[in-house]
Structure 1
């Protein structure tokens, strides 16, 4: 199959060039640098800003704008005093599979680092989500998400203490919460509702994840239910936009 202007189906039409043909200097430099990244390969160090500015005949500020966009897109990353070619984004499925399963499917080692585990009286909005009475005890567990020890996200889980009374003592926070529910409590997941949006991290979130505050994040809100249809957990998962993409499978609805 041929694609418009000979482009790969995943690439922007006409490589992002407007119909009037006038290309911003920074964008022309960005295209040139992107081609250079393909030549260099993952993990290779980019030439200095001075070398690149001379090579592509642009000002240092124009070059920096091109580099900033490539960093935000996850195609470059800072490493010490230099800039290196980043690897491909992790493709996390939008499914009931856990974070652990999704990262392992990418050939990487998942991990988590506990930030806090607190118990508090359930407020009204959360009580409505979890099918609890206002004031019932709930857990809030916050963990930094890791992939090969790289910080890639932040996850907040809210669950009724009644459902998991020994969470503070029996659960290893470095491991999969879903696996713990299944193996230790015989609780299975039935279905979930999710909402995905783009946000900027708060200063606290950026510090925990180790990213600049201006880096776009992918935020997923999830309300999960068990196999009996009872609300089980409310989760807020924040992922680095430069390290993650999400996939799903779409089917034709019944009678469609």
Structure 2
């Protein structure tokens, strides 16, 4: 028929795979490329491309030498709440693994954002974020030593930083947050248990308290196949 739209073989295979996955449970094995190619009557490369799309979307995941149906993405609210609250809301078990905790000197941009002089000591806390033991994010938090140096004596980096700050009397006021897509560096990919070809969601945030005094700068990356963000919008 004139004007008919030609549908690619990869799209057709994706449609078949969507139907296949709908009948499987989380953790169930996905048939091998060779088996799927025979079943759908296409080349293995076509199946491989369709599976790669599902992998990037977080619908499936590699496990050993096989592929299984993945858990739903962890949906994080865009709010002044901790990662812990978002994970627990979805019935997931949050966790953190400390990568490094050291002092750095504030450069001009960081000094302005945190309200300190250039060269002032700033704590850099880097942690891998977990959900049910799976690595889903890598978070770098910067706080001034002058205001938050006490954390070194009492804070357990495996727990919620926001909970510790609130317990100390810090009242969160507002944050400016920017989210964009990126590709992880080799180091970041290794810490996240992914590859440099797998897109991540990069978040940059500056948070202030109710008196508009800076609290933190955060740079975090989240696996795009494991995490999604949501917010509530209303026109009132």
TM-score bucket of the superposed structures, by smaller chain: over 0.9
Deviation at 1:20, TM superposition (A): 4.1
The equivalent position to 1:236 in structure 2, one of 219, 227, 232, is: 219
Question: Residues 206-225 of structure 1 correspond to what in structure 2 (within 5 A)?
Answer: 206-225=189-208
Deviation at 1:218, TM superposition (A): 0.6
Give 1:69's aligned residue.
53
The equivalent position to 1:105 in structure 2, one of 89, 101, 109, is: 89
Q: Is the 8 A contact 1:117 1:168 kept in 2?
A: no
Give 1:143's aligned residue.
127
Instruction: Spell out, residue by residue over 1:170-201, the C-alpha distance to the aligned partner (whole angstroms, 9 max, x if none).
Output: 21000000111111x21121110100100011
The equivalent position to 1:194 in structure 2, one of 177, 181, 200, is: 177
Deviation at 1:167, TM superposition (A): 2.3
Match of 1:63, SS state, is helix
1:20/1:98 CA distance change after superposition, 3 Å = farther
Question: Residues 34-183 of structure 1 correspond to what in structure 2 (within 5 A)?
Answer: 34-183=18-167
Structure 1 regions of 5+ residues with no counterpart? 1-18
- Over 3 Å off, 4+ runs: none
Q: Is the 8 A contact 1:114 1:173 kept in 2?
A: yes
- What root-mean-square deviation, in Å, do the aligned CA atoms of Structure 1 and Structure 2 show? 1.1
Q: In the alignment, is residue 252 of structure 1 matched against residue 235 of structure 2?
A: yes
Match of 1:173, SS state, is coil
Match of 2:5, SS state, is coil
**In structure 1, C-alpha distance between the alignment counterparts of 2:42 and 2:153, rounded to whole Å:** 59
**In structure 2, C-alpha distance between the alignment counterparts of 1:175 and 1:192, rounded to whole Å:** 21
1:118/1:20 CA distance change after superposition, 3 Å = farther
Greater mean alpha carbon deviation, residues 19-28 or residues 164-173:
19-28
The equivalent position to 2:186 in structure 1, one of 176, 181, 203, is: 203
How many correspondences in the alignment? 234
**In structure 2, C-alpha distance between the alignment counterparts of 1:178 and 1:40, rounded to whole Å:** 38
Report the TM-score when normalising by structure 2. 0.96
Match of 2:81, SS state, is coil
The equivalent position to 1:31 in structure 2, one of 5, 9, 15, is: 15
Match of 1:84, SS state, is strand
Q: Is the 8 A contact 1:98 1:178 kept in 2?
A: yes
Q: Is the 8 A contact 1:189 1:227 kept in 2?
A: yes
**In structure 2, C-alpha distance between the alignment counterparts of 1:37 and 1:213, rounded to whole Å:** 26
